[in-house]
Structure 1
Amino acid sequence: MAIAPDDVQRDSVRYRAMRDTVEQMQDSLPGKLEITKEGIVHDMMSPGRPHELTAAQVSRRLEKLMPDEILAHTGTPDVEEEAEGIMRHPDVMVIAVVDMEGQGSFDPRTLIAAIEVVSQSNPDNDWVGKMRDYPLLGIPVYAIFDPRTGAGAVLSDIHPTPNGPRYATRKDFLYGEDVTIDKWTISTESLPRYDA
Protein backbone atom coordinates (compact mmCIF):
# COMPACT_ATOMS: atom_id res chain seq x y z
CA MET A 1 0.00 0.00 0.00
CA ALA A 2 1.44 3.39 -0.97
CA ILE A 3 1.17 6.29 1.42
CA ALA A 4 0.46 9.63 -0.18
CA PRO A 5 2.52 12.65 0.93
CA ASP A 6 -0.69 14.28 2.24
CA ASP A 7 -1.25 11.26 4.52
CA VAL A 8 2.31 11.51 5.87
CA GLN A 9 1.93 15.23 6.49
CA ARG A 10 -1.45 14.72 8.19
CA ASP A 11 0.02 11.96 10.42
CA SER A 12 2.98 14.20 11.31
CA VAL A 13 0.68 17.10 12.26
CA ARG A 14 -1.51 14.73 14.32
CA TYR A 15 1.53 13.32 16.11
CA ARG A 16 2.97 16.76 16.92
CA ALA A 17 -0.44 17.85 18.29
CA MET A 18 -0.54 14.78 20.56
CA ARG A 19 3.07 15.41 21.63
CA ASP A 20 2.24 19.04 22.51
CA THR A 21 -0.77 17.84 24.51
CA VAL A 22 1.36 15.32 26.42
CA GLU A 23 3.98 17.97 27.22
CA GLN A 24 1.32 20.39 28.49
CA MET A 25 -0.52 17.80 30.61
CA GLN A 26 2.34 15.65 31.94
CA ASP A 27 3.13 17.73 35.02
CA SER A 28 -0.51 18.35 35.97
CA LEU A 29 -1.75 14.74 35.82
CA PRO A 30 -0.77 11.77 37.97
CA GLY A 31 0.83 8.83 36.23
CA LYS A 32 2.49 8.68 32.86
CA LEU A 33 1.44 9.74 29.36
CA GLU A 34 2.75 8.06 26.21
CA ILE A 35 1.85 8.15 22.52
CA THR A 36 1.04 5.00 20.55
CA LYS A 37 -0.33 4.31 17.10
CA GLU A 38 -3.82 4.44 18.64
CA GLY A 39 -3.32 7.76 20.41
CA ILE A 40 -2.39 8.91 23.90
CA VAL A 41 -2.13 6.28 26.65
CA HIS A 42 -2.52 7.45 30.24
CA ASP A 43 -1.37 5.13 33.00
CA MET A 44 -3.46 6.77 35.72
CA MET A 45 -1.51 5.71 38.79
CA SER A 46 1.95 6.96 39.60
CA PRO A 47 4.24 3.97 40.01
CA GLY A 48 4.27 2.64 43.56
CA ARG A 49 7.06 1.21 45.65
CA PRO A 50 7.06 -2.37 44.24
CA HIS A 51 7.15 -1.01 40.69
CA GLU A 52 9.98 1.44 41.36
CA LEU A 53 11.93 -1.04 43.50
CA THR A 54 11.72 -3.66 40.74
CA ALA A 55 13.03 -1.17 38.15
CA ALA A 56 15.84 -0.09 40.48
CA GLN A 57 16.87 -3.66 41.36
CA VAL A 58 16.82 -4.85 37.75
CA SER A 59 18.88 -1.80 36.77
CA ARG A 60 21.42 -2.36 39.56
CA ARG A 61 21.74 -6.09 38.84
CA LEU A 62 22.36 -5.42 35.16
CA GLU A 63 24.85 -2.61 35.75
CA LYS A 64 26.97 -4.86 37.99
CA LEU A 65 27.59 -7.02 34.89
CA MET A 66 27.86 -4.34 32.20
CA PRO A 67 30.92 -2.46 31.03
CA ASP A 68 31.13 1.17 32.20
CA GLU A 69 30.12 2.52 28.78
CA ILE A 70 26.64 0.94 29.01
CA LEU A 71 23.92 1.93 31.48
CA ALA A 72 20.63 0.45 32.63
CA HIS A 73 19.03 3.89 32.79
CA THR A 74 15.82 4.50 34.78
CA GLY A 75 15.30 8.20 34.10
CA THR A 76 14.19 10.46 31.31
CA PRO A 77 13.90 11.34 28.43
CA ASP A 78 11.50 9.25 26.37
CA VAL A 79 12.27 7.22 23.28
CA GLU A 80 10.57 8.68 20.24
CA GLU A 81 10.08 7.91 16.57
CA GLU A 82 8.02 10.67 14.99
CA ALA A 83 7.81 8.85 11.65
CA GLU A 84 6.00 5.98 13.42
CA GLY A 85 3.99 8.36 15.63
CA ILE A 86 5.24 6.72 18.83
CA MET A 87 6.71 8.14 22.04
CA ARG A 88 7.30 5.70 24.88
CA HIS A 89 9.07 5.78 28.23
CA PRO A 90 10.57 2.41 29.22
CA ASP A 91 11.06 1.85 32.95
CA VAL A 92 14.66 0.79 32.26
CA MET A 93 16.61 1.51 29.08
CA VAL A 94 19.82 -0.40 28.37
CA ILE A 95 21.81 2.10 26.33
CA ALA A 96 25.38 3.16 25.63
CA VAL A 97 26.50 6.33 27.40
CA VAL A 98 27.50 7.87 24.05
CA ASP A 99 23.92 7.40 22.77
CA MET A 100 22.58 9.38 25.73
CA GLU A 101 24.56 12.49 24.83
CA GLY A 102 22.85 15.47 23.21
CA GLN A 103 19.36 16.94 23.54
CA GLY A 104 15.83 15.66 23.06
CA SER A 105 14.38 12.17 23.14
CA PHE A 106 16.51 9.07 22.73
CA ASP A 107 16.59 7.41 19.32
CA PRO A 108 14.87 4.05 20.02
CA ARG A 109 17.21 2.28 17.60
CA THR A 110 20.13 3.04 19.94
CA LEU A 111 18.57 1.06 22.79
CA ILE A 112 20.09 -2.34 23.46
CA ALA A 113 16.99 -3.33 25.43
CA ALA A 114 13.81 -1.87 26.91
CA ILE A 115 12.58 -3.20 30.25
CA GLU A 116 9.10 -2.66 31.63
CA VAL A 117 7.64 -3.36 35.06
CA VAL A 118 3.96 -4.09 34.52
CA SER A 119 1.63 -1.46 35.93
CA GLN A 120 -1.17 -2.52 38.26
CA SER A 121 -3.57 -0.04 36.69
CA ASN A 122 -2.89 -0.74 32.99
CA PRO A 123 -1.13 -4.10 32.37
CA ASP A 124 -2.20 -4.22 28.70
CA ASN A 125 0.01 -1.19 28.03
CA ASP A 126 3.07 -3.38 28.74
CA TRP A 127 1.82 -6.79 27.57
CA VAL A 128 0.02 -5.64 24.40
CA GLY A 129 0.79 -2.06 23.39
CA LYS A 130 4.52 -2.03 24.05
CA MET A 131 4.89 -5.57 22.71
CA ARG A 132 3.54 -4.12 19.44
CA ASP A 133 5.36 -0.75 19.56
CA TYR A 134 8.87 -1.75 20.59
CA PRO A 135 9.62 -3.89 17.51
CA LEU A 136 8.16 -1.08 15.36
CA LEU A 137 10.72 1.21 17.01
CA GLY A 138 13.53 -1.27 16.32
CA ILE A 139 14.27 -2.06 19.98
CA PRO A 140 15.95 -5.48 19.70
CA VAL A 141 15.14 -6.86 23.18
CA TYR A 142 12.07 -6.22 25.32
CA ALA A 143 11.91 -7.64 28.87
CA ILE A 144 8.73 -7.56 30.96
CA PHE A 145 8.64 -8.04 34.75
CA ASP A 146 5.14 -8.53 36.17
CA PRO A 147 4.83 -8.01 39.96
CA ARG A 148 1.14 -9.00 39.75
CA THR A 149 2.01 -12.61 38.85
CA GLY A 150 5.69 -13.00 39.75
CA ALA A 151 6.52 -13.85 36.16
CA GLY A 152 7.74 -12.20 33.00
CA ALA A 153 9.10 -12.64 29.51
CA VAL A 154 12.01 -11.59 27.34
CA LEU A 155 11.20 -10.95 23.68
CA SER A 156 13.75 -10.68 20.87
CA ASP A 157 14.50 -11.43 17.21
CA ILE A 158 12.40 -8.86 15.35
CA HIS A 159 10.96 -10.23 12.13
CA PRO A 160 8.47 -8.91 9.54
CA THR A 161 4.84 -9.99 9.67
CA PRO A 162 1.76 -8.86 7.71
CA ASN A 163 0.89 -6.65 10.73
CA GLY A 164 4.35 -5.07 10.91
CA PRO A 165 7.52 -6.05 12.75
CA ARG A 166 7.06 -8.38 15.71
CA TYR A 167 9.28 -10.30 18.13
CA ALA A 168 9.83 -13.90 17.00
CA THR A 169 11.33 -15.27 20.22
CA ARG A 170 9.70 -15.24 23.65
CA LYS A 171 11.30 -16.71 26.77
CA ASP A 172 9.01 -16.77 29.79
CA PHE A 173 10.37 -16.82 33.34
CA LEU A 174 9.15 -17.00 36.92
CA TYR A 175 10.48 -14.84 39.72
CA GLY A 176 13.30 -16.74 41.42
CA GLU A 177 14.78 -17.90 38.10
CA ASP A 178 17.70 -16.32 36.31
CA VAL A 179 16.77 -14.27 33.24
CA THR A 180 18.97 -13.24 30.32
CA ILE A 181 18.48 -9.77 28.84
CA ASP A 182 20.61 -9.40 25.73
CA LYS A 183 23.94 -10.83 26.94
CA TRP A 184 23.56 -10.30 30.69
CA THR A 185 22.00 -12.87 33.02
CA ILE A 186 20.55 -11.64 36.31
CA SER A 187 18.68 -13.20 39.19
CA THR A 188 15.00 -12.41 39.72
CA GLU A 189 15.25 -13.61 43.32
CA SER A 190 13.54 -11.34 45.89
CA LEU A 191 11.89 -9.01 43.38
CA PRO A 192 8.85 -7.42 45.04
CA ARG A 193 5.27 -8.35 44.25
CA TYR A 194 2.15 -6.21 44.35
CA ASP A 195 -0.15 -6.77 47.31
CA ALA A 196 -3.25 -8.66 46.29
Structure 2
Amino acid sequence: MTMAPDEAQHDARQYRVMRDFVASMDDTLPGKFEITKEGIVHDMMSPAKPHELTVLRVRKRLEAVLPEGLVAHTGTPDVEHAGEGIMRHPDVMVIAEADMEGEGAFDPRTVLAAVEVVSRSNPDNDWVGKMRDYPLLGIPVYAVFDPRTGTGAVFSDIHATPAGPRYATRKEFVYGEEITVGDWAVPTSGLPRYEDR
Protein backbone atom coordinates (compact mmCIF):
# COMPACT_ATOMS: atom_id res chain seq x y z
CA MET A 1 0.00 0.00 0.00
CA THR A 2 1.32 3.46 -0.87
CA MET A 3 0.81 6.17 1.67
CA ALA A 4 0.54 9.86 0.86
CA PRO A 5 3.08 11.99 2.78
CA ASP A 6 0.43 13.51 5.07
CA GLU A 7 -0.81 10.01 6.01
CA ALA A 8 2.74 8.85 6.73
CA GLN A 9 3.33 11.91 8.92
CA HIS A 10 0.05 11.26 10.73
CA ASP A 11 1.05 7.64 11.37
CA ALA A 12 4.49 8.74 12.64
CA ARG A 13 2.86 11.26 15.01
CA GLN A 14 0.32 8.67 16.17
CA TYR A 15 3.11 6.17 16.86
CA ARG A 16 5.12 8.78 18.80
CA VAL A 17 2.05 9.56 20.96
CA MET A 18 1.56 5.84 21.69
CA ARG A 19 5.31 5.43 22.38
CA ASP A 20 5.28 8.36 24.83
CA PHE A 21 2.18 6.96 26.56
CA VAL A 22 3.77 3.52 26.96
CA ALA A 23 6.96 5.09 28.34
CA SER A 24 4.95 7.09 30.88
CA MET A 25 2.97 4.03 32.02
CA ASP A 26 5.83 1.54 32.36
CA ASP A 27 6.46 2.21 36.04
CA THR A 28 2.89 3.24 36.87
CA LEU A 29 0.68 0.30 35.90
CA PRO A 30 1.35 -3.42 36.32
CA GLY A 31 1.83 -5.64 33.30
CA LYS A 32 3.51 -5.19 29.94
CA PHE A 33 2.76 -2.67 27.18
CA GLU A 34 3.51 -3.25 23.51
CA ILE A 35 2.61 -1.33 20.35
CA THR A 36 1.23 -3.23 17.38
CA LYS A 37 -0.06 -2.21 13.96
CA GLU A 38 -3.51 -2.10 15.58
CA GLY A 39 -2.63 -0.06 18.67
CA ILE A 40 -1.44 -0.61 22.23
CA VAL A 41 -1.58 -4.06 23.82
CA HIS A 42 -1.56 -4.17 27.62
CA ASP A 43 -1.22 -7.53 29.32
CA MET A 44 -2.37 -6.55 32.79
CA MET A 45 -1.64 -9.83 34.52
CA SER A 46 1.76 -10.51 36.03
CA PRO A 47 3.21 -13.62 34.42
CA ALA A 48 2.32 -16.85 36.22
CA LYS A 49 5.00 -19.14 37.59
CA PRO A 50 4.63 -21.68 34.72
CA HIS A 51 5.13 -18.84 32.23
CA GLU A 52 8.30 -17.60 33.88
CA LEU A 53 9.66 -21.11 34.46
CA THR A 54 9.13 -21.92 30.78
CA VAL A 55 10.95 -18.72 29.78
CA LEU A 56 13.84 -19.62 32.08
CA ARG A 57 14.15 -23.21 30.87
CA VAL A 58 13.89 -22.31 27.17
CA ARG A 59 16.48 -19.56 27.61
CA LYS A 60 18.91 -21.90 29.38
CA ARG A 61 18.40 -24.65 26.79
CA LEU A 62 19.01 -22.22 23.94
CA GLU A 63 22.12 -20.78 25.57
CA ALA A 64 23.51 -24.30 25.98
CA VAL A 65 23.55 -24.78 22.19
CA LEU A 66 24.19 -21.26 20.88
CA PRO A 67 27.65 -20.55 19.44
CA GLU A 68 30.00 -18.06 21.06
CA GLY A 69 28.78 -14.49 20.59
CA LEU A 70 25.06 -15.29 20.50
CA VAL A 71 22.83 -15.04 23.57
CA ALA A 72 19.27 -15.91 24.52
CA HIS A 73 18.19 -12.61 26.06
CA THR A 74 15.14 -12.15 28.28
CA GLY A 75 15.41 -8.57 29.50
CA THR A 76 14.89 -5.12 28.13
CA PRO A 77 14.95 -3.08 25.95
CA ASP A 78 12.16 -3.72 23.50
CA VAL A 79 12.44 -4.56 19.81
CA GLU A 80 11.24 -1.52 17.91
CA HIS A 81 10.66 -0.46 14.32
CA ALA A 82 9.28 3.07 14.49
CA GLY A 83 8.76 3.20 10.72
CA GLU A 84 6.33 0.28 10.95
CA GLY A 85 4.82 1.59 14.19
CA ILE A 86 5.67 -1.57 16.14
CA MET A 87 7.32 -2.07 19.51
CA ARG A 88 7.38 -5.62 20.87
CA HIS A 89 9.03 -7.37 23.80
CA PRO A 90 9.78 -11.06 23.13
CA ASP A 91 9.98 -13.36 26.15
CA VAL A 92 13.29 -14.65 24.75
CA MET A 93 15.25 -13.37 21.77
CA VAL A 94 18.33 -14.83 20.14
CA ILE A 95 20.67 -11.98 19.33
CA ALA A 96 24.38 -11.36 18.97
CA GLU A 97 25.88 -9.88 22.10
CA ALA A 98 27.55 -7.23 19.93
CA ASP A 99 24.10 -6.11 18.68
CA MET A 100 23.06 -5.37 22.26
CA GLU A 101 25.57 -2.53 22.61
CA GLY A 102 24.51 1.11 22.55
CA GLU A 103 21.38 2.95 23.60
CA GLY A 104 17.74 2.59 22.65
CA ALA A 105 15.61 -0.31 21.50
CA PHE A 106 16.96 -3.34 19.67
CA ASP A 107 16.89 -3.24 15.88
CA PRO A 108 14.54 -6.08 14.84
CA ARG A 109 16.84 -6.92 11.93
CA THR A 110 19.44 -8.09 14.49
CA VAL A 111 17.08 -10.56 16.20
CA LEU A 112 17.72 -14.07 14.88
CA ALA A 113 14.75 -15.70 16.66
CA ALA A 114 11.94 -14.65 18.98
CA VAL A 115 10.36 -16.99 21.52
CA GLU A 116 7.02 -16.36 23.22
CA VAL A 117 5.36 -18.26 26.03
CA VAL A 118 1.60 -17.84 25.70
CA SER A 119 0.04 -15.99 28.61
CA ARG A 120 -3.13 -17.36 30.08
CA SER A 121 -4.75 -13.91 30.08
CA ASN A 122 -4.08 -12.87 26.45
CA PRO A 123 -3.20 -15.81 24.16
CA ASP A 124 -4.18 -13.93 20.97
CA ASN A 125 -1.29 -11.53 21.53
CA ASP A 126 1.15 -14.40 20.85
CA TRP A 127 -0.84 -16.55 18.41
CA VAL A 128 -2.31 -13.71 16.31
CA GLY A 129 -0.70 -10.31 16.91
CA LYS A 130 2.93 -11.40 17.10
CA MET A 131 2.39 -13.87 14.26
CA ARG A 132 1.53 -10.82 12.17
CA ASP A 133 4.14 -8.41 13.56
CA TYR A 134 7.30 -10.54 13.79
CA PRO A 135 7.54 -11.33 10.06
CA LEU A 136 6.74 -7.67 9.34
CA LEU A 137 9.75 -6.79 11.52
CA GLY A 138 11.86 -9.33 9.63
CA ILE A 139 12.46 -11.68 12.56
CA PRO A 140 13.27 -14.91 10.68
CA VAL A 141 12.15 -17.47 13.30
CA TYR A 142 9.30 -17.29 15.79
CA ALA A 143 8.69 -20.05 18.35
CA VAL A 144 5.52 -20.23 20.48
CA PHE A 145 5.22 -22.35 23.63
CA ASP A 146 1.68 -22.74 24.98
CA PRO A 147 1.47 -23.92 28.62
CA ARG A 148 -2.34 -24.06 28.31
CA THR A 149 -2.14 -27.05 25.97
CA GLY A 150 1.43 -28.35 26.24
CA THR A 151 1.93 -27.66 22.54
CA GLY A 152 3.57 -25.06 20.36
CA ALA A 153 4.85 -24.20 16.92
CA VAL A 154 7.95 -22.84 15.22
CA PHE A 155 7.39 -20.44 12.32
CA SER A 156 9.97 -19.57 9.66
CA ASP A 157 10.54 -18.74 5.97
CA ILE A 158 9.10 -15.24 5.64
CA HIS A 159 7.42 -14.63 2.30
CA ALA A 160 5.34 -11.88 0.74
CA THR A 161 1.54 -12.12 0.80
CA PRO A 162 -1.18 -9.60 -0.13
CA ALA A 163 -1.60 -8.95 3.62
CA GLY A 164 2.13 -8.31 4.08
CA PRO A 165 5.06 -10.53 5.04
CA ARG A 166 4.04 -13.80 6.71
CA TYR A 167 5.74 -17.01 7.83
CA ALA A 168 5.41 -19.74 5.19
CA THR A 169 6.47 -22.68 7.37
CA ARG A 170 4.76 -23.83 10.57
CA LYS A 171 6.11 -26.84 12.48
CA GLU A 172 3.88 -27.84 15.36
CA PHE A 173 5.12 -29.77 18.40
CA VAL A 174 3.93 -31.25 21.64
CA TYR A 175 5.86 -30.87 24.86
CA GLY A 176 8.41 -33.67 25.16
CA GLU A 177 9.63 -33.46 21.56
CA GLU A 178 12.92 -31.94 20.49
CA ILE A 179 12.36 -28.95 18.23
CA THR A 180 14.57 -26.80 16.05
CA VAL A 181 14.59 -23.04 16.63
CA GLY A 182 16.64 -21.62 13.78
CA ASP A 183 19.72 -23.83 13.66
CA TRP A 184 19.48 -24.98 17.27
CA ALA A 185 17.91 -28.13 18.69
CA VAL A 186 15.94 -27.49 21.87
CA PRO A 187 14.29 -30.18 24.03
CA THR A 188 10.79 -29.37 25.27
CA SER A 189 10.58 -32.02 27.98
CA GLY A 190 9.92 -30.90 31.56
CA LEU A 191 8.17 -27.66 30.66
CA PRO A 192 5.36 -26.72 33.05
CA ARG A 193 1.68 -26.43 32.17
CA TYR A 194 -0.92 -24.03 33.51
CA GLU A 195 -3.19 -25.71 36.03
CA ASP A 196 -6.90 -25.83 35.27
CA ARG A 197 -8.83 -23.26 37.20
| 2:155 alignment partner in structure 1 | 155
Q: Distance between the aligned counterparts of 2:65 and 2:136, measured in 1?
A: 28
Q: Deviations over 1:142-181 (max 9, x none)?
A: 0000000000000000000000000000000000000100
The alignment covers a number of residue pairs equal to: 196
| 2:191 alignment partner in structure 1 | 191
TM alignment of 1:88-103, pairs within 5 A: 88-103=88-103
The 10-residue stretch of structure 1 (42-51 or 86-95) with the greater mean CA deviation from structure 2 = 42-51
Instruction: Tell me which amino acid in the other structure corresponds to 1:167.
Output: Y
Q: Which structure 2 segments of 5+ residues have no match? A: none
Alpha-carbon distance, 1:68 to partner: 2.3
Q: Distance between the aligned counterparts of 1:27 and 1:127, measured in 2?
A: 27
Identity of aligned residues (%): 70
Q: Deviations over 1:79-126 (max 9, x none)?
A: 000010000000000000111111000001100000000000000000
User: SS of the residue aligned with 2:169?
Assistant: strand
Say whether 1:22 aligns with 2:14: no
Alpha-carbon distance, 1:127 to partner: 0.1
Q: Distance between the aligned counterparts of 2:192 and 2:95, measured in 1?
A: 25
| 1:121 alignment partner in structure 2 | 121
Q: Distance between the aligned counterparts of 1:18 and 1:35, measured in 2?
A: 7
The 10-residue stretch of structure 1 (109-118 or 44-53) with the greater mean CA deviation from structure 2 = 44-53
Instruction: Tell me which amino acid in the other structure corresponds to 1:20.
Output: D
User: SS of the residue aligned with 1:64?
Assistant: helix
Q: Deviations over 1:45-78 (max 9, x none)?
A: 0112111110110010011111120000010000
Q: Which runs of 4+ in 1 moved over 4 A?
A: none
Q: Distance between the aligned counterparts of 1:28 and 1:47, measured in 2?
A: 17
Alpha-carbon distance, 1:3 to partner: 1.1
Q: Which structure 1 segments of 5+ residues have no match? A: none
Q: Distance between the aligned counterparts of 1:49 and 1:29, measured in 2?
A: 20
| 2:141 alignment partner in structure 1 | 141
Alpha-carbon distance, 1:44 to partner: 1.2
The 10-residue stretch of structure 1 (136-145 or 26-35) with the greater mean CA deviation from structure 2 = 26-35
| 2:53 alignment partner in structure 1 | 53
Alpha-carbon distance, 1:31 to partner: 1.0
Instruction: Tell me which amino acid in the other structure corresponds to 2:67.
Output: P
Q: Distance between the aligned counterparts of 2:53 and 2:75, measured in 1?
A: 14
Q: Distance between the aligned counterparts of 1:27 and 1:66, measured in 2?
A: 33
Alpha-carbon distance, 1:17 to partner: 0.3
Instruction: Tell me which amino acid in the other structure corresponds to 1:147.
Output: P
Q: Distance between the aligned counterparts of 2:157 and 2:186, measured in 1?
A: 20
Q: Distance between the aligned counterparts of 1:89 and 1:154, measured in 2?
A: 18
Instruction: Give the TM-score taking structure 2 as reference length.
Output: 0.98
Instruction: Give the TM-score taking structure 1 as reference length.
Output: 0.99
